[in-house]
Structure formats: structure tokens, C-alpha cells
Chains A and B, each alone.
Chain A
């Protein structure tokens, strides 16, 4: 959907990005060199003043960004959220009752050899979590797996483990 984003240089200020929403309204984000971010909700008529503006510090903006991207809290509706950083992909997937990986260990599934993806962390259904799980860790119902790898390897992983 990157075609919906327009990017502009603002000499002496920073850069701006305009993003369209599903309802046709547009939001403009100004990234200042200082780290400050301004968010404008634009009026339909270009000549009017923006409907609303908000200013964030760098820190606040990152938090808002992580909420918007679904990384801070992943709503159920966003099944296909993935974050790509430097060509690497980080994704979340939950073990369901019909998942082929259910009750198998990472070792037994040969996840890394078969799919080249790595399970970086597991969040259990009860909320407890393990970072960098051991190969003999067994995947349980409701486990959320945080996986890292190349985007092209994700389908193989989903097929092998999640179903």
C-alpha cells in the first residue's frame, strides 16, 4: 500500500509523509530533524486549516507508531501484521488446536533446517514468556511465536508449524 504514501522534503524542517485513510481523509506527518513529530489531520479542502494537529516527542511518536503497527499490542483483527527491518521480517503467529506444530518440540519440527526461520521468543497462553527458547521446547495450544527470518521463508514456516 506504499503507493498511498507521499513523501516530501521540507528544507530546514525535515520530511513530511501524507497517508490516506480508508475513509478518504488524509493525515500528514512531519518528521523534524530535532526528532519532533507533528501530525496533521487534513481538511478535505486543501485551502482550509487542518482539522486537528498534534505534536509528539521522538519517544511518544515511537510509542504511537508501535501501537499503530500492532507491535505494542496485537489486535486479533490484524492477523497479517509483519514488520520488515533491513530485509528481515519479524512476525507473530499463534499455535491453534489444528496447527501441525501443536505438542511438537522445535527440535522435532526441524524449524530452522526446514524453513530457515528462527523462533526468537514464545509467549504462552497464560502470559508467561521465554526469550530464545531451547530446541526441545514443546509448542502448546495458544503459544504465540515470535519468528525472525527472511520474508520469502515465512510461508514455509506457516505451513510447517501453524497450518
Chain B
């Protein structure tokens, strides 16, 4: 046990110190946690804290559960309703472009149909964590386009929930259409049961868990989230979606605010373990074999994000600066891509998905913040005539 504790402590410390160094030059934490896993893993020379990522299995899964639990907790259809149809349109437009392109890329790689489905999600969905952090760090919370950016991320989160619920049965070992249909049916049945609980039984669950004592509250909500994740996994739905639904149910409870505060340090710690553990599985030598798919995916995503930024700006009558801010901020990829890759590897899909998603996330998680911080000069490259739906006479951005 002592040796394991030393390894775990050293891993967290290494990840934390590396991320702190990156923080000084404005880099997000997620890719650096993963890099720490690569450096201190079995596939690189030098120290290896864990030779097998599965040694961190339970703790890393806890990170995944808490990530999705927080997503469910923060999830609010009300935010979307307030944003109106325009916001939904902007989000759906973004997803159609990016998930569509991801699916096309996935099939063009020829790694298989299930692999293509995973790649569609990994390439299509932005990182909520990096995007929100970017908006705060770049001091853009007050900008009019920021509400659109956060709204698009909310639409992506909804999509992620639906997508995860159909993905697991497809990833599972169901053979043939009928078996897949049955497991998709079970998955949706389970989700509907949980959705009903969220609507009707939230008060009951709330009473079970709600207490003014932060210690007891934390123990209870973590138990609830982990339990639902486990049950979901047992009935053949992804544990991630179970955790998401647990968050959704508790979002209706009177102690939502307390949970939001209490879950953050837990989520951050165990999510770091999850990203580190993912890094352990990556052999930098494999990155060369998937360099072309990575380059193709990065370029496609970049181009489509610029297009989506411009289309969103047209929709809202924003200027060039806002168009660039939308496109370059939402460009960040991170936790969701890594979660999908981890699920795919666990299900025994083509192992190339691991290094592919790792490389793709590294480029875009590190590149998007740099590009977003330079959006002002970059925005001058956007031809003004592409934003013709601006109200006439308005000053250019």
C-alpha cells in the first residue's frame, strides 16, 4: 500500500507542478495533466509511477463520474430557454458542422464504424472546462458574444448526454441490429426512469441528501453519484450518463448551491487522476503513426470553427472581433474527447483512437487558448463582407 500511495502522491504532485508551470504562460491544465501521465508513464524513458493505467482504474473512474456529475448539476434547460431560439440555432449549427465533419473523418480513416462514431464525438464536442476558463482568464465575461459562447457549450453538453446514452450500447458487445436496438432501448428506458425521478422524485432525493452539514452532504451526494453511475454501468448504459443524471436530479434540490461548491475540489483532484491515467496509456511513439489523421482533424476543426464563428456573428449581428472570439474559444478540445477515447479503449475498439485523440486534444487544448488570446489581430483576417448581416452604419469590430 505504501508504494501505491507514493506513486499516487507523486503522480498528483507531478501533474500539479507541471500544470502550474503551464499556468504561468496561460496554458490550460487538462493537456498538462495528460502530458504528466505520458512523461511519468511506462512508455517514456525515466521514472514511471504506474506501469499500468488500470492500477489507477477506480480513482480515475471517480474523476470521470465527478466530471459528469458536475455537468449534470450545472445543466439547465432554463439557461437555454432564456437564450431563445437563436442560441439553440447557433449551438445546433456548431454541432452539425463539427460532429458531421468528425463522422466523415472517422469513416475516412477506415478504422471501423464504431470507431467513426467515437471520433465524431471526440472531434465535435468542445471542452466546457477550457472554454469557460478561457472566457474568465481573457476577461471576456462582459462581452456580448460570451453569452453565445457559453450557450453553445450548453447545447454541446446536452448533445453529449444524448450521445453518451446511445454510444455505450453501440460500443458494447451487442451483435446484430436487434441486439443493438434492445440495448439502446434499455439505455433509453433507464434514462427515462431517471428523468422521471429528476422531475417527480427530486424532492424525495433532496430530502434524503439535503443537510446543512457540509461533511454529511458531501458524503451523501458523492455516494449518490457513484451509486447511480454504477447502476447505469450494470444495466449496460455508460456510468458517465448515470453520474450526469445524478447531477441533474440534485440540481433540482434545495442544496444545489452547497453541492456546487463542495464538489469542485473533489472533481478537480479526481479529474486530474483521470487525465493523468489517460496519459499513462499513451506511447509517444504511436503519435507518429496517427500524425496524418491528427493533422487532418485539427485542420478540419479549425476551419469549421472559424466558419461557425462567422455564421454565429452573422446570426447575432456581431463584428469581426466577436466572430473570431466565438470561433477560436469554442475551438478548445479537452475532457469530453478524452472521456470518449477512454470509453472506446475500454470497450476494446481500435487502439489507434488513444494516440489520435491524445494528439488531437494536445494540439487544440494548447493551441486554442493561444489563438483565442490573439483574436484581435486574427480577426482582421476575416473579410468584412462575410459579415454582411451587420446592421448598416454600425462601426466595424
Contact = CB atoms under 8 A, between A and B. Distances in A.
Interface of A: 8-13, 16, 18, 28, 30, 32-35, 38, 40, 42, 45-47, 49-50, 53
B261 to A, nearest CB: 6
A8 B397 CA distance: 24
B75 to A, nearest CB: 8
Interface of B: 74, 76, 78-79, 82, 128-129, 132, 135-136, 139, 141-144, 147, 150-151, 153-154, 260-261, 264, 319, 321-322, 395, 397
A42 B142 CA distance: 8
Contacts of A32: 136
A47 B260 contact: no
Given A10-B141, A32-B136, A50-B142, 16 more contacts: A9-B76, A11-B79, A11-B132, A13-B136, A13-B141, A16-B141, A16-B142, A28-B141, A28-B142, A30-B141, A34-B261, A38-B141, A40-B141, A45-B395, A47-B395, A53-B139
A30 B136 contact: yes
A46 B74 contact: no
Contact of A33 (B76, B264, B395): B264
B82 A9 contact: yes
Closest 5 CB pairs of A and B: A12-B132, A28-B142, A53-B139, A40-B142, A33-B260
B141 A12 contact: no
A86 B132 CA distance: 33
Most central of A13, A38, A40, A42 by chain B CB within 10 Å? A13
Nearest to B147: A8
Contacts of A12: 74, 128-129, 132, 150, 153
Most central of A18, A35, A42, A47 by chain B CB within 10 Å? A47
Contacts of B151: 11
Given A12-B132, A35-B261, A47 B321 contact: yes
B128 A46 contact: no
23 contacts: A9-B76, A10-B141, A11-B76, A11-B132, A11-B153, A11-B154, A12-B132, A12-B150, A16-B142, A28-B141, A30-B141, A32-B136, A33-B260, A33-B264, A34-B261, A38-B136, A38-B139, A38-B141, A40-B139, A42-B142, A45-B395, A47-B321, A47-B322
